Structure 1
Amino acid sequence: MEKQLLLKSSSYYNATDLFKTQTYPRFLSFKTPRYRRNNGGGVFLPCFSSSVPLDLAVSNKSVETRSSNNVSSMGCLADKFRHGSLSDDGLSYKEKFIVRCYEVGINKTATVETIANLLQENACNHAQSVGFSTDGFATTPTMRKLHLIWVTSRMHIEVYKYPAWGDVVEIETWCQSEGRIGTRRDWIIKDVATDAVIGRATSKWVMMNQDTRKLQKVNDEVREEYLVFCPRTPRLSFPEAGNSSLKKIPRLEDPARYSKLGLAPRRADLDMNQHVNNVTYIGWVLESIPQEIIETHELEKITLDYRRECQQDDMVESLASPEVEDVEHINNQGTNGSSPTKKYEQDWKQFLHFLKLSGSGLEINRGRTEWRRKLTR
């Protein structure tokens, strides 16, 4: 009652305040814990007294779960303090995040690395919520038995409005099969205060043997273990034809216009699977963007194709050059017969990127970034 009176008397009360005040009491009675399968093929709620089976089409194959001690001590406690839950049908996962002060740049808005980290956190929490392991990224029982892990082959992120320090965002994610060689994961990012979509992302993943570091096809047993948690019909965060996430990235031609040499992984850049975290590559790619672009433009789209792992002792070179779009595409930017080329060049910048190992010159990844002019304030 005291809290209610305080809230009513407050003249400044926004989505962030609501998020903060709800955090403690909400999770003491949190009713949307992670799902897991039992030996009979049903899906149950493991962390609370009432276990209610869900109406999902599940495989007859059982999914190995963590030990009861681990689930009760680690999983349930985290669930109480996490603003995330599965959808009613169990086929997607939504989670709310506050943008913290250490996640913003000099203009007090989130960086693209922050966005990428939130996407990764959201995806891992989704995997845990359906009972997959905490000792890697969404590994199923068969994957752990065969020493298999997921690795990213492509990542595409679009941000239409960067959230500011203290803003609350809601991220929805889901995964689905991508042919016979991998899987894909999609995200939609919303501003909780306005319910507006402020970003979207998609990624492609392939399977790698953790011991040999070689790629491997997804076998039927693994596919059955995770497809039960995927949409029955394709659902894409970028459903429109010809969207940027589908564009091929050509190899950057020598000589590159801009470069940043001598980049090296830190210990903190290594993830649970003992390779450089995907977000680190985004930071390296942006290191080669000239300062004058950083000052006048902000990143709207980034696409990375991952070609090779980077080890802790490797040295990396980041190269970039402007990409000239074909004339037809540029001409389509104009309206009413106006000439758009000059305006396009001023307001929109596009770069090709190339990360390679110093010395050997072996390609680590290639990328594309698209930048819009910053709004004047």
Structure 2
Amino acid sequence: MLKFSCNVTDQIHLINQAQCRFMGLPRPVSSVRRRNVSLPISNPRTPVKIQAVVSEQGGRTLTEIGSGTLADRLRLGSLMEDGFSYKEKFIVRCYEVGINKTATVETIANLLQEVGCNHAQSLGFSTDGFATTTTMRKMNLIWVTARMHIEILKYPAWSDVVEIETWCQSEGRIGTRRDWIIKDYSNGQVIGRATSKWVMMNQVTRRLQKASDEIREEYLVFCPPEPRFSFPEKDNASLRKISKLEDPAEYSRTGLMPRRADLDMNQHVNNVTYIGWVLESMPQDVIDSHELQTITLDYRRECQQDDIVDSLTSPEWIEDSDAVSKIQGTNGLPAKGDREDYRQFLHLLRLSGDGSEINRGRTEWRKKSGR
């Protein structure tokens, strides 16, 4: 695969000319046709001329990154040669890091969401409603998150470059699964993995709905023919059931309210906001001495702007050292056998008014290095 090798001055010049390709593009498999198209930018009288490459592969039409909007042209990402997975590079910005000068888990989750949406957009799916198909839009259907599992082996620091690969596949009639692999671009080391489940909801009735054959045909053509998982291990942590946290919880933070900025394009609280709410009720001594290694969230119901939320947290005790070793092994970490080095908690987000369950979760924490 081609690498971008020009210096900083050349990069700026080429970006301004909208002519610099950051990654090698998928090689066309069979019939290929090239055409120049004009794309309007901020000034509609100043079109940008670019070249589009369209290839027919296995009955699917693939368009190279750079053949759509100006944003497509400037992104550090593209479809892979197989046409199923998508990779994109990101620079960790100063406003995306916390007190340790490393990316926060919310930053990681936002990047996962961004690369997933860019993948869908590169395949031609609508950007209105997070990758909805034509039939879904006709039926007022949208995708909503049912489960999210993120494991972070090493947090990237400010100015680090990460490369994220993503792909999606079928989860039967109930929806789809999307996986991610996160790498340190400087050395190719895997620093994180994630997986998620998505289901369809009617935007008018706010009820879940199964995927019809017509809808499945629209997105299955872009899924790998053979199952591929970011967590291939048997009985991995992403599959573990989360027990409901019962009152009284050991730690709590009540009266949390969504901000206007927390609402997404589907008019409900964005799934990344729940991560912040979960962490609000974590005990400060754990935050000071440990760092988040794994977070798993099951989304039970959507949250609206006027809802008031309570965040509850209690320790989930690990029965034996074998369980500790198993958890560490899932994350690619050495088993230390010290139960205090690794802590595990159960979480519950609920409506303050009637106690309805919004979200239940589990977090696993490892001792910060140097402590």
Which one has a larger percent helix, Structure 1 or Structure 2?
A: 1
Equivalent residue of 1:107, what SS?
coil
The equivalent of 2:350 in structure 1 is 356
Q: Which moved more, 1:324-333 or 1:256-265?
A: 324-333
Among residues 69, 82, 89, which one is paired with 1:76 in the alignment?
A: 69
The answer to whether the 8 A contact 1:154-1:305 is kept is: yes
The equivalent of 1:123 in structure 2 is 116
Aligned-pair distance for 1:343?
A: 5.5
CA deviations 1:61-104 (Å, max 9, x no partner) are xx9x9xxxxx98xx420012100100012101000000000000
Identity %: 67
| Distance in 1 separating the partners of 2:219 and 2:72 | 21
The answer to whether the 8 A contact 2:324-2:337 is kept is: no
The answer to whether the 8 A contact 2:112-2:180 is kept is: yes
| Distance in 2 separating the partners of 1:32 and 1:143 | 32
The equivalent of 2:21 in structure 1 is 30
| Distance in 1 separating the partners of 2:225 and 2:9 | 36
| Distance in 2 separating the partners of 1:342 and 1:228 | 44
The equivalent of 1:6 in structure 2 is none
| Distance in 1 separating the partners of 2:74 and 2:170 | 31
The equivalent of 2:266 in structure 1 is 273
The equivalent of 2:133 in structure 1 is 140
The equivalent of 2:247 in structure 1 is 254
Aligned-pair distance for 1:18?
A: 6.7
| Aligned residues: CA RMSD | 2.9
In the alignment, structure 1 segments of 5+ residues that lack a partner are: 1-14, 36-41, 66-70, 334-340
The equivalent of 2:366 in structure 1 is 372
Which letter maps to 1:25?
L
User: Kindly tell me: are residues 22 and 263 of structure 1, through their superposed partners in 2, closer, same or farther at Cα, counting changes over 3 Å?
Assistant: same
Which one has a larger percent strand, Structure 1 or Structure 2?
A: 2
The equivalent of 2:322 in structure 1 is 329
Aligned-pair distance for 1:254?
A: 1.7
Equivalent residue of 2:112, what SS?
helix
Is 1:344 matched up with 2:344? no
Equivalent residue of 1:52, what SS?
strand
Is 1:103 matched up with 2:96? yes
| Distance in 2 separating the partners of 1:161 and 1:229 | 31
Equivalent residue of 1:28, what SS?
coil
The equivalent of 2:42 in structure 1 is none
The answer to whether the 8 A contact 1:43-1:56 is kept is: no
The answer to whether the 8 A contact 2:175-2:210 is kept is: yes
TM-score of the two chains, using structure 1 as the length reference: 0.83
Equivalent residue of 1:223, what SS?
helix
The equivalent of 1:54 in structure 2 is 56
| Distance in 1 separating the partners of 2:351 and 2:192 | 32
| Distance in 2 separating the partners of 1:43 and 1:218 | 33
Equivalent residue of 1:265, what SS?
coil
Which letter maps to 1:54?
E
Q: Which moved more, 1:353-362 or 1:25-34?
A: 25-34
The count of residues paired between Structure 1 and Structure 2 equals 339
User: Kindly tell me: are residues 113 and 21 of structure 1, through their superposed partners in 2, closer, same or farther at Cα, counting changes over 3 Å?
Assistant: farther
In the alignment, structure 2 segments of 5+ residues that lack a partner are: 38-49, 327-334
Aligned-pair distance for 1:148?
A: 0.3
The equivalent of 1:221 in structure 2 is 214
Aligned-pair distance for 1:54?
A: 3.1
Equivalent residue of 1:255, what SS?
coil
